[in-house]
Amino acid sequence: NYYTRKYIRYWKTTHPCTKKTWPGICWSHGTVHYPVFGYENVCSSGWRHNGNQNCNIPICSPPCMNGGTCYSPNRCYCATGYQGDICGGVSACSHLKPCYPGKCYGSTCVCSDGFNGGSCLTLQSQTFLPAIEKVNATFTYHSETLKRDEYSYKCDATHMTKPDITWTNQGKFNVLEFYLKASLDDTYVFSRNPSRPSYISTVKFGIVSATASVIHMKLKNGGYYEAKNYPLSCPNLSNKNPNTTLSCYFKKSYIIQFDSDDRFMVHFTVGTGGYRNLLNGQSYYRQDTYTPVKTENSMELHFDYEDPIHCSEDSSCTSREVPFLLSHDVTNVELSPLWHGWKDKLSGVSRYVFEVWKMEYSYDRNGLREPLITTASNPVPLFIKEVNATGSIDFPSYEPRDPGVYSAILEVNDRANNSQYARQVAIFDRTSNISTSSADLIVVTTASPSSNFTWQTSQFSNIEVSWSGHFMNDVHEKGHFLEKILDYEPRLSDGKQGRRHDYKKILPRFDDNDGVRNRSSIPNIKSIIRFETVGRYINSHLIFPKTGWNDVVPLSDNKTFPLTDIRDGDSYQLWIRAHDIMGNSKVDSAVVHFDRSPPTVLPLKVEYNIDDGEYPFSSRVRVAAEDEHSGVRKISFRFIVNGTGEEKAKKDFLIESKSKEECELIPRDCKCVKMGECFLLDTVLDINNCWLKVPIKQVANFVLLLEVTVYNSAMLSSKRYKTIGMVKQLHGIQHYYSPSNITVVRKTSSSVSVKWIQAKTCYERAGIVIILYRPDNKTKEFKVHKDATTFDLTGLSSLTSYWFLMYTKYGNDTDFVSSSSPAMFAFVTRQKDESVKSFSTYGIIGIAAGMFVFTCLCIERNLFIHPLVFHNY
């Protein structure tokens, strides 16, 4: 008593694309249901079970009356005293008074379950409705010019009891597609119907109608009216032609202008009905059609062209709701947004989208902006998070990885995809700090430049200080953290055929106009936003000042400090504290000293041509000078030709200070000044006579004047003069000496190796000449490198006496002078059997050149010409 049937086991939910644009780009997904079928064993018509799956219980519909018992499908066993199909008496039903599906009860027709009416022609049970396996509508705008669909919206009411409403902000649609698929298992649905009586030849149930009304609703005077109605019907359906399956598809073109708050809907109705054919005896009598039971729903496209608004725009805020705010806009922790008070009158707010961009600097417009969309790049945000607008909001957060200026953008999106945007800007930085420059120092500009701005020598009423470029937050400066924020450049469009172009824009009222880091540039100097200063007179108990700091207002990198009761030798220290926007600070200071008086200099003492000087030819100057306020810091010598004023040479000597401990050991010769440094009273300086040399062959008969300038630490100076006399009296001036200390290194029967010491000189050597004299008075000249200190004489005869003269040439190859007194040396070669094979007989084998050797072991002390000296070996 059972059979196997196909049935809808359950409905599955998917989220396919429901809104897309050309070329097939999906930008929204919807919820769609579709059936999953199964197979089951069910009781045959007229039978049921009590839960044990044994179909052995007959069904009588309508049920047996007056205590009758159903013993077989739609057959009753009547109690005593009753008769008829349902034990209600004698049946009065016929083709003249039909009752089906049902049974007659006397003169009354009792309908089976789910049917109603005087002759049971009305279907009223919802179980008779067909299973709608799919029903959807697609609204499309098709461009005839481009031959393509620009965008489409799909509504799906499958397995839904309420209308499927889709909101849109598009302005044009011209194609509608409708698809309906349904089925009816008539055997199962009508399984309780009794067998047809003899006066009915045929009964058939199924899907008899499927219609759709395309309706355009418009708003007027606060209510909607029907502007257009396009009826559509699925073909080949009627009460006389019921079907158990249905597949219906429409595609219609239309041109309609839509306004905001219009509604464009497809209202569909599907009905189950059928017919019965009556017989009069064996002859056809008539056909009755059943009144269908219907199901209906709609798929609606609602139009909304209005952007969401904030309650501040219509003064409806109740508790200071903010459109968009970052909890901290200068931070070293995560970016945490808040927003409240957004609403949308028509479609309602659907979602919020929070995105974060790292801003970049535009050198063309001198400001910070979000990365631009170009033909070469389509930048994406560092972080993006969508937040559902329903229920309580779970605010997202984002922690940047690197220091920078970050733009946080909030999109408020309604169900029609209209958006409003708000922006907040924040500085994130947890690593940078303030640095100081070694090139740009704190400078007391009223101090003397020649003292490196450490001593003030003019007015003592104030000091002016500049620290331009000294303090800087390098990370902030290179990243332009404090520059202005440029207007957000609109972007994003719905395509050429779309209604919106460059719709992603930020209105001024929703831009970042408040807080610390807003759209305006932040006044700064090298990314420093605040300076504090304090100044103190220096004394022995001076410590870092904790009080007395004053802001530099307006922001500047220079300041004037007033002074009172300043005297020579006093010192003043000033501190500058720099602050950046992150709260970092750095302190640096500078000291300025005061002195208006020059040093005191006693007459000069000069010693000429000393033996123990610093140079080969030295003279010595003793300078006795003192400055009780700043000490003697530098002494300058200038050698001037008396009469012409021509400067022959100039030399500066920096004077090193002494420690206080050193000075206390020689109190008569050393004095300490107020700032703590100590200086010797006498300074002994050696002069290199060669500084005053005159060119070769030039007459050296002029008189020199020594000008000595003594500077104190403030670079105030005093001068003294001393006449030196004729320059030629100085050793080394136009004195040209020959080599000395000639010795034999090695001697054989045919060669001799000699060495010598170069003569000290003020002039450049051009070369050395050796003239060898043989026993027969024949000579041979050897040219030796100017810096050589050894030489080999070869090709000599054994056991023979030789001698040579050695000259030094001074100047150059074309203009030179020879040493006035040549060195002379004599030697005798060895016998042949004493020869040493080490020496070659090829002549001069080479020059051992000691390049630039100035080791002078023999110092000439007199200016007169030396006589010839013979050396024997």
Q: Residue 799 belongs to a domain with what CATH number? A: 2.60.40.10
Q: What is the CA radius of gyration of the chain?
A: 59
In a domain, 163, yes or no: yes
Task: Tell me how far apart the alpha carbons of residues 850 and 856 are, in angstroms, rounded to a whole number.
Answer: 13
Is residue 735 domain-resident?
Answer: no
Other C-beta atoms closer than 10 Å to the C-beta of 851 total 8
In a domain, 618, yes or no: yes
- Among 729, 757, 790, which residue terminates a domain? 729
Instruction: Verify that 339 and 394 share a domain, yes or no.
Output: yes
Q: Is residue 823 located within the same domain as residue 756?
A: yes
Query: Does 424 map to a domain?
Result: yes
Phi, psi of 424 (to 5 degrees): -135, 150
637 and 494 assigned to the same domain: no
Q: What is the pLDDT of residues 376-391, one digit of tens each?
A: 889 999 999 999 999 8
Q: Residue 11: inside a domain, yes or no?
A: yes
In which residue ranges of the chain is pLDDT below 50? 835-873
Distance CA 796, CA 747 (A): 11
Same domain? For 184 and 152 the reply is yes
Residue 684 domain-assigned? yes
Tens-place pLDDT, residues 849-861: 332 332 232 333 3
The residue among 119, 147, 177 that closes a domain is 119
Range of the domain at 669: 600-729
> Are 247 and 284 contained in the same domain?
yes
Q: What are phi and psi of 771, to 5 degrees?
A: -110, 110
Residues 413 and 461 grouped into a single domain: no
| CB-based contacts of 583, cutoff 8 Å, min separation 6 | none
Q: Give the model's pLDDT for residue 81.
A: 59
Please check whether residues 175 and 270 belong to one and the same domain: yes
* pLDDT at residue number 697: 80
**β-bridge mates for residue 225, sequence order:** 218
* Ordered DSSP codes for 810-855: EE-SSSEEE-SS-EEEEEEPPPGGG--TTS-SSS---EEE-TT---
Residue-level pLDDT at 114: 95
Residues 367 and 471 in one domain: no
Which pLDDT belongs to residue 3?
81
252 and 361 belong to one structural domain: no
Pick from 684, 707, 729: which residue ends a domain?
Answer: 729
Structure token pair of residue 509: 């009222």
Distances (CA, A) of 44 to 41, 485, 624, 835: 9, 79, 138, 144
Please state, in angstroms and rounded to a whole number, the distance separating the CA atoms of residues 792 and 746. Answer: 9
Q: Is residue 395 part of a domain?
A: yes
Structural domain total, the chain: 6
C-alpha distances (whole Å) from 858 to each of 59, 655, 690, 871 are 147, 32, 18, 16
Classify residue 197: in a domain, yes or no: yes
Residues 439 and 543 in one domain: yes
CB atoms inside a 10 Å sphere around CB 615: 16
pLDDT at 539: 80
Asked whether residue 91 falls in the same domain as residue 170, the answer is no
Same domain, 158 and 294: yes
CA dihedral 106, 111, 113, 117 (to 10 degrees): -140
- Residue listed under structure tokens 């945490």: 336
Which pLDDT does position 841 carry in this prediction?
A: 32
**Local structure of 374: helix, strand or coil:** coil
- Residue 721 carries which side chain, given as an amino acid letter? Y
Q: Is 460 helix (H, G, I), strand (E, B) or coil?
A: coil
